[in-house]
């Protein structure tokens, strides 16, 4: 018996050894998993980011390896041997003085040397304070990039830091009936609305709310929090007490600022340049208001062109005066269209006046230079204060005069005050070059972004974006206000060259009214413009996000790198007064290169597209089936190959300008446009879920009506598939309804 058992054991061991050997042989001869490319090639580290991986012999269970300086692995979701997805973690931290790094990606265990690089932009170490409100006696500011919320005691200058959640993107403050101040915080990357004690910062409750929030207002009497978001382009009213959704309304593309106006709320569209008035009772759209042909323009070089207005430009901030019955809106001015004089520089930053009862855009007061941003209204004194980030100053206006008539609006400005940067803050060029020959002064380095008034109305608090400070301006109701002190919110300005590049992106040094941000608000798109020198016609204003990898720029091509673009556009914005120095070109190029695509909201927690996607505008689609159509029957991949979905991603195929049968000119006063056609470039489709409008002409998004451009498509990707995708521009026209839905679903996940 013992001998039999020993023989059995020996045989079992032999069989086991044989099995292990076979498995080892199979493993040895299994094709190596190898990474070939990644998209996007540049990401931000301010939150978790989905990425697409392209390779060979990819298999379930594999991991993505990030080399130095991160030295870590990330799980991947494999779809087939050539396609996989991952979500980078939100804690890819870098040293604060590091602007960006490029790490090498590979499949864990990959023996072949990888040449796939991923650039990680250090937004998490680059404070960018853009939000300021007053709650009771305390000021609250937020930096979305660094997830920071700060409380400022203006009495003693004490600054207390709080965790802000994942991308605090909108703030609102109010006072409860018992006199206690409250603060609401909406977020870019987390579906949460925080309700805080406005004195202590204690989080009282967390409510479910949309992520990608861009606007927030609170009506304490109705117990409503009103949130704007840019994924589905909606405004939603939520119960302030339990987060229950009271109503939801689809609005024009890219809704941003909100203003409560008694029984209604006004929302501004960055893409459409219009203001929509919604009922607070049920969200019904009551009116759409914006500049129209004939709108009065008071001041600035666009004043003679009121009859050629073709619409509005992005509302940057809104303020409601119940006493005057007016809504004030800051912008770069009414959008001037084709005109006999061929006047193409339509930027005229200032403030517009909306008569809410008459549903009419009364007038725009333009200053001829600068870019007006945040506002603060003193109802008691009828004073309106404006922050000008382009020039680095604050203006005070007589709100009653501004609201009364064109004639009185002309003299509405009461004073202007430069907000100088703190001592020791670096300058983009020699100090002697500022404030001469009609140029802006060194104050353009401060970047006033948001304003708040003290409870008494005699002090104005100015949030300076570039210097990360709050400036305290006293005696603002007098004719001689004074900057009394500045409260620092950060110990460091971050990487010096990137910070100065940010200054240059927003600055209007030549007092022309033009800056990079004037046309590409916060590095993104902004409707259409009549511009571009030659051929002079109506073009869409494209996004800067992710463009570092896809030159050439402009149509037809005129610049072939970001540095060349920075020099050409920067010089022209200033009218060569003065031309950019080499260091300014380098700094502006760096900042532009760090403007990344937003994390795609249509991806799952693992970074992969879901099996089925609910589509904006209705219906559902299957992204993975859509990819097969993109690569095959719809014939999209020929001009939009991965990973960046443009032939401009590679040097060998860069700069091909094509005639694919899409519209050549926007049909508005075409006799005053130069309609010569030399082909169109191939735009990247990465981030196209958030692009408005599409096509060089903007006609996937806008149409001409009554002498102006009006929004025709809330989902331009759908318009592209339905109207502009017949040969030679692909062949989506050959798809049936479900196939078109699948293709749209795939495009939304890019």
For the chain, domain boundaries: 1-30, 34-123, 126-250, 613-748
Q: Model confidence over 177-211: pLDDT tens digits? A: 999 999 999 999 999 999 999 999 999 999 999 99
Residues contacting residue 642 through CB under 8 Å, at least 6 positions apart: 37, 39, 52, 54
φ, ψ at 215 (rounded to 5°): -150, 150
For the stretch 379-410, pLDDT in tens is 999 999 999 999 999 999 999 999 999 999 99
- The C-alpha atoms of residue 320 and residue 261 are separated, in whole angstroms, by 6
Q: Can you give the pLDDT at residue 532? A: 77
Is residue 418 pLDDT above 80, yes or no?
yes
Average confidence score pLDDT of the chain: 95
Cα angle, residue 682 at apex, residues 680 and 685 outer, rounded to 5°: 140
Contact of 672 with 506, CB cutoff 8 Å: no
Ranges of H-type helices in 261-352 = none
Query: Which 3 state secondary structure label does DSSP give 426?
Result: coil
Q: What percent of the chain has pLDDT over 90?
A: 93
Whole-angstrom distance, CA of residue 726 vs CA of residue 730: 6
Beta strands in 349-468 (DSSP E): 350-355, 360-366, 372-378, 383-388, 393-398, 413-418, 448-453, 459-464
Question: Which of 226, 180, 235, 185 lies closest to 206, judged by CA?
Answer: 185
**CB-CB contact of 322 with 349 (8 Å):** no
For residues 674 and 364, give the distance between their C-alpha atoms in angstroms, rounded to a whole number.
28
Q: What's the CA dihedral at 658, 661, 662, 665 to 10 degrees?
A: 90
Per the model's pLDDT, the better-predicted residue between 438 and 17 turns out to be 438
The answer on pLDDT for 28 being more than 80 is no
**446 within 8 A of 421, measured Cβ to Cβ:** yes
Tokens of 230: 């840019």
Q: In the predicted model, what is the mean pLDDT of residues 229-255?
A: 97
Instruction: Summarize pLDDT for 562-616 with one digit per residue, the tens.
Output: 999 999 999 999 999 999 999 999 999 999 999 999 999 999 999 999 999 999 9
- Please report which confidence band the pLDDT of residue 556 belongs to, taking 50, 70 and 90 as the band edges: confident
CA angle 169, 347, 326 (to 5 degrees): 65
- Is residue 77 predicted with pLDDT exceeding 90? yes
- As a CATH number, domain 126-250 is 2.130.10.10
pTM for the complete prediction?
A: 0.95
Give the whole-angstrom CA distance, residue 255 versus residue 226: 12
DSSP, collapsed to helix, strand or coil, labels residue 104 as strand
The pair of three-digit structure tokens given for residue 125, joined into one six-digit string: 């170490």
pLDDT at position 29 is 64
CATH superfamily of 34-123: Immunoglobulins (2.60.40.10)
**How many Cα atoms are found within 13 Å in the side-chain-facing hemisphere of 273?**
31
CATH of 613-748, one of 1.20.58, 1.10.3470, 3.40.190, 1.10.760: 1.10.760
* 628-663 CB burial, b ≥16 within 10 A, e <16: ebbeeebbbeebbbbbbbbbbbeeeebeeeeebebe
pLDDT band at residue 713 using 50, 70 and 90 as cut-offs: very high
CA 256-619-216 angle, 5° bins: 20
């Amino acid at each position: 018996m013992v001998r039999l058992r020993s023989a059995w054991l020996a045989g079992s061991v032999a069989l086991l050894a044989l099995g292990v050997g076979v498995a080892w042989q199979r493993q040895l001869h299994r094709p190596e998993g190898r990474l070939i490319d990644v998209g996007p090639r540049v990401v931000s580290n301010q939150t978790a980011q989905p990425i697409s991986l392209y390779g060979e012999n990819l298999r379930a269970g594999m991991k993505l390896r990030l080399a130095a300086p991160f030295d870590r692995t990330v799980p991947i979701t494999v779809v087939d041997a050539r396609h996989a997805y991952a979500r980078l973690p939100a804690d890819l931290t870098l040293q604060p003085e590091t602007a960006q790094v490029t790490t090498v990606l590979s499949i864990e265990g990959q023996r072949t040397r990888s040449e796939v690089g991923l650039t990680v932009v250090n937004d998490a170490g680059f404070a960018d304070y853009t939000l300021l409100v007053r709650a009771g006696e305390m000021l609250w500011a937020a930096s979305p990039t660094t997830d920071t919320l700060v409380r400022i005691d203006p009495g003693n200058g004490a600054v207390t830091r709080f965790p802000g959640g994942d991308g605090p993107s909108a703030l609102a403050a109010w006072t409860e009936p018992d006199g206690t101040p409250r603060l609401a915080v909406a977020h870019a990357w987390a579906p949460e609305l925080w309700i805080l004690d406005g004195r202590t910062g204690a989080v009282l409750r967390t409510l479910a709310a949309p992520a990608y929030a861009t606007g927030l207002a609170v009506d304490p009497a109705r117990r409503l929090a009103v949130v704007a978001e840019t994924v589905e382009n909606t405004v939603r009213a939520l119960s302030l007490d339990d987060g229950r959704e009271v109503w939801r309304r689809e609005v024009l593309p890219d809704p941003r600022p909100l203003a409560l106006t008694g029984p209604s709320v006004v929302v501004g569209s960055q893409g459409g340049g219009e203001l929509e008035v919604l009922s607070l009772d049920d969200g019904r759209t009551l009116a759409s208001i914006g500049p129209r042909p004939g709108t009065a323009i008071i001041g600035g070089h666009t004043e003679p062109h009121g009859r050629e207005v073709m619409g509005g430009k992005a509302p940057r901030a809104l303020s409601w005066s119940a006493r005057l019955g007016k809504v004030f809106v800051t912008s770069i001015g009414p959008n001037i269209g084709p005109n006999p004089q061929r006047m193409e520089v339509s930027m005229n930053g200032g403030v517009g006046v909306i008569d809410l009862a008459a549903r009419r855009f009364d007038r725009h007061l333009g200053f001829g230079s600068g870019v007006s941003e945040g506002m603060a209204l003193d109802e008691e004194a009828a004073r309106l204060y404006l922050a000008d980030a382009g020039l680095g100053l604050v203006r005070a206006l007589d709100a009653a005069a501004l609201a009364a008539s064109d004639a009185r609006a002309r003299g509405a400005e009461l004073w202007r005050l430069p907000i100088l940067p703190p001592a020791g803050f670096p300058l983009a060029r020699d100090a002697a070059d500022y404030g001469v020959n009609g140029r802006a002064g060194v104050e353009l380095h401060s970047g006033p972004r948001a304003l708040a008034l003290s409870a008494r109305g005699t002090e104005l608090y100015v949030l300076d974006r570039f210097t990360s400070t709050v400036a305290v301006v006293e005696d603002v109701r007098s004719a001689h206000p004074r900057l009394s002190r500045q409260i620092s919110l950060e110990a460091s300005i971050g990487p010096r060259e990137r910070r100065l590049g940010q200054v240059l992106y927003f600055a209007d040094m030549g007092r022309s009214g033009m800056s990079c941000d004037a046309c590409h608000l916060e590095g993104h798109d902004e409707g259409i413009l009549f511009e571009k020198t030659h051929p002079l016609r109506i073009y869409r204003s494209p996004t800067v996000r992710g463009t570092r990898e896809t030159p050439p720029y402009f149509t037809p091509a005129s610049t072939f790198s970001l540095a060349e673009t920075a020099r050409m556009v920067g010089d022209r914005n200033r009218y060569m007064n003065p031309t950019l120095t080499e260091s300014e070109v380098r700094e502006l190029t760096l900042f532009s290169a760090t403007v990344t695509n937003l994390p795609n909201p249509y991806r799952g927690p693992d970074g992969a597209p879901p099996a089925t996607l609910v589509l904006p505008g209705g219906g559902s689609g299957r992204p993975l089936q859509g990819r097969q159509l993109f690569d095959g029957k719809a014939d999209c991949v020929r001009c939009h190959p991965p990973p960046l979905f443009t032939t401009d991603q590679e040097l060998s195929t860069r700069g091909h300008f094509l005639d694919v049968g899409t519209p050549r000119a926007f049909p508005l006063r075409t006799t005053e446009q130069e309609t010569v056609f030399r082909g169109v470039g191939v735009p990247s489709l990465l981030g196209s879920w958030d692009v408005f409008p599409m096509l060089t002409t903007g006609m996937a998004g806008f149409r001409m009506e009554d002498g102006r451009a009006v929004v025709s498509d809330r989902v331009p990707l759908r318009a592209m598939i339905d109207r502009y995708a017949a040969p030679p521009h692909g062949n989506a026209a050959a798809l049936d309804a479900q196939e078109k839905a699948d293709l749209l679903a795939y495009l939304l996940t890019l």
